[in-house]
Amino acid sequence: MTAQHTTQSFIHDGKTYELRLQSDGWTFTVKAFLNGQPANGYSHSVTLPTAFDLRNTKGCDAIEILFEDAKSDIRDGTWDRLVEALNALHLTEDQSIGCRKCTSREVEIKTVDDRKMYRCKSCNNVWYEKRTVGGAYEMTLDDITEGVIAKGSYELHIAFLLNMNFREEAGRPSFWDQLQNWCNQNHLAYQVFYKQIKRGKDEQWLRFTRNIRAQKPSPTSPT
Ligand SMILES: [Zn+2]
């Protein structure tokens, strides 16, 4: 029998999850997806004593309970609690690195601005090691990177970077080259815009966002 699947949608906290039921005829598995990526690391499955057509599963308690289990994982935040508990165990990097958004283990690790940056190769999720020491220089840059992670974009008066982090000095690249280079390292894009702070005086600001050009297209959902 060829693999078949059927889906249910489930809304929690404003997000629409897709619960996919897959089967080879005997074993039935339900897994939750969000935006085409696994929503957590759980799969719920049952193996029946006899082959069963997926089209007849509606109202079959043995199958319906798998959907209910997948929904309660999301409702109760079970996965988030598990991730927190694992973090608390301080596992070594190799044992514990996985993307929290899509659970992929394909994670690229680089050192940027003296701390580790992690990027999921499957969904382009970016996160950083917690900084333990750092001054104003790092704080300005961390505000940008953390701001983009938290809200999707971050705005900053150009003077902060122009006069401090990416100052033009002899032997250094131009301000714009330093800015672009830093954005490339952090998978960010920037846009210049103008804000009127004082009457009649436009000031130059920068808006940072995730550079989505590096993102792989997400796999298409089964219909
Ligand atoms: Zn990911």
Mean pLDDT, to the nearest integer, of 48-59?
A: 75
| pLDDT of 214 above 90 | no
| pLDDT of 77 above 80 | yes
Instruction: Give 3-state DSSP helix, strand, coil % of the chain, rounded to 5.
Output: 30, 35, 35
CA of 80 to the centre of ligand 1 (A): 15
Helix axes 61-76, 78-88, angle to 10 degrees: 60
173-182 LR contacts (CB < 8 Å, sep 24+): 179/206, 182/141
CA of 124 to the centre of ligand 1 (A): 6
CA of 26 to the centre of ligand 1 (A): 30
- Which residues have beta carbons under 5 A from ligand 1 (an ion)? 99, 101-102, 104, 120, 122-123, 125
Q: Please give the order of strands across the beta sheet that includes 188-198.
A: 153-157, 201-210, 188-198
How many residues belong to the chain?
223
| pLDDT of 221 above 80 | no
CA of 122 to the centre of ligand 1 (A): 5
Q: Is 0.75 surpassed by the pTM of this model? A: no
| Gap between the terminal Cα atoms of the chain | 19
CA of 73 to the centre of ligand 1 (A): 19
Burial (0-12, 13-18, 19+ Cβ within 10 Å), 53: exposed
| pLDDT of 198 above 80 | no
Q: Which pLDDT band, with edges at 50, 70 and 90, does 215 fall under?
A: very low
Q: 36 or 190: whose pLDDT is higher? A: 190
What pLDDT was estimated at residue 92?
Answer: 57
Mean pLDDT, to the nearest integer, of 2-22?
A: 85
Q: 101 or 53: whose pLDDT is higher? A: 101
CA of 77 to the centre of ligand 1 (A): 18
CA of 102 to the centre of ligand 1 (A): 4
Distance CA 149, CA 1 (A): 44
What pLDDT was estimated at residue 10?
Answer: 95
Structure tokens at 218: 């997400």
| Phi, psi for residue 76 in degrees, rounded to 5 | -90, -5
What pLDDT was estimated at residue 209?
Answer: 96
- Which candidate, 96, 84, 182, places its Cα nearest to that of 140? 182
CA of 33 to the centre of ligand 1 (A): 12
What pLDDT was estimated at residue 219?
Answer: 54
What pLDDT was estimated at residue 63?
Answer: 87
CA of 4 to the centre of ligand 1 (A): 26
Q: Is 50 left (phi over 0), alpha (psi -120 to 50) or beta?
A: beta
CA of 46 to the centre of ligand 1 (A): 27
What pLDDT was estimated at residue 4?
Answer: 54
Mean pLDDT, to the nearest integer, of 81-107?
A: 76
Please give the sequence-ordered ranges of beta strands (E in DSSP) within the chain, or none if there are none: 4-12, 15-23, 27-34, 37-38, 44-47, 107-112, 115-120, 126-128, 153-157, 188-198, 201-210
| pLDDT of 44 above 70 | yes
Specify the amino acid at residue 87: N
Mean pLDDT over the full length of the chain: 86
CA of 126 to the centre of ligand 1 (A): 8
| pLDDT of 210 above 90 | yes
CA of 35 to the centre of ligand 1 (A): 11
pLDDT tens, residue by residue, 111-163: 999 999 999 998 889 999 888 888 888 999 999 999 999 999 999 999 989 99
CA of 194 to the centre of ligand 1 (A): 34
Structure tokens at 221: 């959902």
Mean pLDDT, to the nearest integer, of 32-41?
A: 90
CA of 151 to the centre of ligand 1 (A): 18
